[in-house]
Amino acid sequence: MSGSVQSQRVEAFDSLFKNYEGPAFSIRLWDGWRWVSPGRGNPVCTIVFYSVGALQSLLAKPSEITLGEAFLAKEIDVEGDIFSVFDVAEHIFCCPRSQRQRILEVISGVLFGLGQWWQQGAIHSQERDHAAITYHYDQPVEFYRAWLGESLAYSCAYFESANDDIDEAQRNKIELICNKLRLQPDERFLDVGCGWGSLILHAASAHDVFANGITISGRQATTAAERIHQSSLDACCHVDLLDYREAPSRFEPFDKIASVGMFEHVGLRSLPVYFQTIRKLLKPGGVFLNHGIARAPNQGNRGTSFLNRAVVPFLRDTLRLRSPRDSSFIDKYVFPDGELVTISQALWAAESAGFEVRDVENLREHYEMTLRCWVKGLLDQADSLLEIVPEKIFRIWLLYMAGSAAAFRRGDIAVYQTLLSHPEHGRSGLPLRRDDWYVADIGSMREPVAL
């Protein structure tokens, strides 16, 4: 490469990142040429472009979609701290076209075609929800166990300190939920969207309740049932393959109910049905804890998502799903047909269904820490995981969890534990204070059985 071409590349990249304020990084192109961001210490990551087309596409139409598709196709990769790449991407997305155009002129004058767009059908029907959940959760349980840890809890953990490992933090979260619900011996407890059964196992073993879990993932239901049997809890713990909308016709009302990490799949239009259904399942005087992700109010139209745009075409042939609209990362996240609402929308729907709001806690920082633990586990176990799932699946999870951590750090999304009561003639049945939630260090509480 001539000195003139090299200097042109340096000048173009220097101009593009002139006002960049994130951590230092470097870029390596397909021909081995490397550029390092000036003046901010040693690079924390290297962004590798394996093809001219990937760089052209990203600069011609900078978006999360373009970045994500190139990452899944292995035209772009990240060496080092994957979380920092989102600061770089955010800068590129906001750069004026003239700065991006200069690099395009240096690299090549020909721009590649971009993107694939596809149409939609109805969403949030029971059949389509089942298909979406089946895709995301019906990977082999060994894939999840490698990075979720012993709890198999696929939701925000609760850290007493940054030194907690993921297993300890998940035990903290599960016990905190039980404390907020104030589970009592012999009560009937329902977990809506119970996953692989960690919460119902702990509630039954440590709080002596009769615990039921429901899920629409076949593999989750099978694994939860196996764990219940292995723990000798068959008499007081049970799991059903069942949609929450069908539950009122199957069960008598419960004393306490929780829903952890399922709320994101409901969708704005279905929120009234969701909360009305939960209220039918709850005895007067009972309480319901809803643990779920919500978007910031100003994130509703933030732009299309690289995760949604990258994942959905990949899923289309398998699931034959159709999306009703282009969705942002906040709205769709990575789950097919997932839809994030604001906390105010959720509270309005809950109150409209007859619930009384008793407590709302934001665990946003905890979820960033959780995701960082999961990404570390995913990377640490990469060799063994690639024997279980295709590399594209592995890269989807790696990208979506790293990107989600960045979104939680920025405050684009948050996760809330909302405690709702079903008052009986105005009586909530709750004490005046919440001191008993923290009667001891959560980490010293009894651990779940067989996790």
CATH of the domain at 159: 3.40.50.150
Give the DSSP letter of residue 17. T
Supply the pLDDT for residue 172. Answer: 94
Same domain, 332 and 213: yes
Q: What is the pLDDT of residue 70?
A: 84
CA atoms within 13 A on the CB side of 192: 29
- Rounded to whole angstroms, the Cα distance separating 412 from 414 reads 7
pLDDT tens digit string along 180-192?
Answer: 999 999 999 999 9
As a whole number of angstroms, the distance between CA 382 and CA 77 comes to 15
Evaluate whether residue 114 is within a structural domain.
no
Q: How far, rounded to the nearest angstrom, does the alpha carbon of residue 117 sit from its chain's CA centroid? A: 24
Three-state secondary-structure class, residue 223: helix
Residue 67's domain comprises 3-107
Last residue of a domain, one of 107, 142, 164: 107
Q: Are residues 160 and 103 in the same domain?
A: no
Q: Please, which residues have CB within 8 angstroms of residue 441's CB and are 6 or more apart in sequence?
A: 160
Q: Answer yes or no: are the C-beta atoms of 315 and 336 closer than 8 Å.
A: yes
Is residue 203 packed enough to be buried (19+ CB in 10 Å), middle (13-18) or exposed (0-12)?
A: buried
Q: Which residues pair with 26 in a beta bridge?
A: 36, 46
Most confident of 288-292, 400-404, 423-427: 288-292
**pLDDT bucket at 109, cuts 50 / 70 / 90:** very low
- DSSP for 152-214, written as a single string: ---S----SSTT--HHHHHHHHHHHHHHHHT--TT-EEEEET-TTSHHHHHHHHHH--EEEEE
364-380 helix and 141-148 helix, angle to the nearest 10 degrees: 120
pLDDT at 343: 95
> With 80 as the cut, is the pLDDT of residue 332 above it?
no
| pTM of the predicted protein model | 0.77
- Give the residue among 156, 126, 111, 129 at the shortest CA–CA distance from 361: 156
Instruction: Find out whether 190 and 212 touch, Cβ atoms under 8 Å.
Output: yes
- Collapsed DSSP state (helix, strand, coil) of residue 26: strand
Q: For residue 190, is it within any domain?
A: yes
Q: Which DSSP category does 269 fall into?
A: G
Q: Is the pLDDT of residue 329 over 50?
A: no
Quote the number of domains for the chain.
Answer: 2
pLDDT at res. 439: 66
What is the rounded CA–CA span in Å between residue 325 and residue 247?
Answer: 30
Q: Please indicate, yes or no, if residue 346 is contained in any of the structural domains.
A: yes
Nearest to 251 by CA among 211, 207, 293, 195: 211
Q: Give me Rg for the CA atoms of the chain.
A: 24
Cα 411 to its chain centre, rounded Å, is: 14
392 and 428, same domain (yes or no): yes
* 293 contact partners, CB below 8 Å, separation of at least 6: 263, 264, 333, 340, 367, 413, 414, 415, 416
Most confident stretch, 83-87, 276-280, 300-304, 440-444: 276-280
On whether residue 355 sits in a domain, the answer given is yes
181 lies in the same domain as 139:
yes
Tokens of 382: 């990469």
Give whichever of 47-51, 196-200, 216-220, 303-307 has the largest mean pLDDT.
Answer: 196-200
Same domain, 84 and 169: no
pLDDT in tens, 342-363: 999 999 999 999 999 999 999 9
- Whether 302 and 363 share a structural domain: yes
Beta bridge partners of 213: 191, 239
CATH number at residue 64: 3.30.1050
112 in any annotated domain: no
Same domain, 66 and 202: no
Are 281 and 145 found together in one domain?
Answer: yes
Among all chains, which residue has been given the structure tokens 């995913």? 378
Residue with tokens 């895709």: 135
Q: How many residues does the chain have?
A: 451
Q: Could you report the per-residue pLDDT of 239-257, keeping only the tens digit for each?
A: 999 999 999 999 999 999 9
Question: Are 292 and 143 in a shared domain?
Answer: yes
Assign 260 to helix, strand or coil: strand
> pLDDT for 90-103, tens place per residue?
888 888 887 887 78
Residue 300: CB atoms within 10 A of its CB come to: 13
> Does residue 436 lie within any of the structural domains?
yes
Using CA atoms, how far apart are residues 137 and 154, in angstroms rounded to an integer?
10
Phi-psi bin for 271: left (phi > 0), alpha (psi -120 to 50), beta?
Answer: alpha
pLDDT band of residue 307 (cuts 50, 70, 90) is very low
DSSP 424: B
Across the chain, mean pLDDT equals: 81
Based on the fold, state whether residues 74 and 157 are members of the same structural domain.
Answer: no
**In sequence order, which residues have a C-beta less than 8 Å from that of residue 204 and are 6 or more positions away?**
210, 211, 233, 236, 237, 449
Residue 433, C-beta contacts closer than 8 angstroms, at least 6 positions apart: none
In a domain, 131, yes or no: yes
Token code pair at residue 180: 């907020």
* Highest-pLDDT range among 66-75, 381-390, 431-440: 381-390
Same domain, 53 and 134: no
* Residue 118 domain-assigned (yes or no): no
**DSSP-assigned states of every residue in 282-293:** EEEEEEEEEEEE
**Helical (H) or strand (E) element with 421:** strand 413-421
Structure tokens at 82: 């994957």
Compute the Cα dihedral for 180, 261, 369, 223 and give only its sign: positive
User: 148 and 208 share a domain?
Assistant: yes
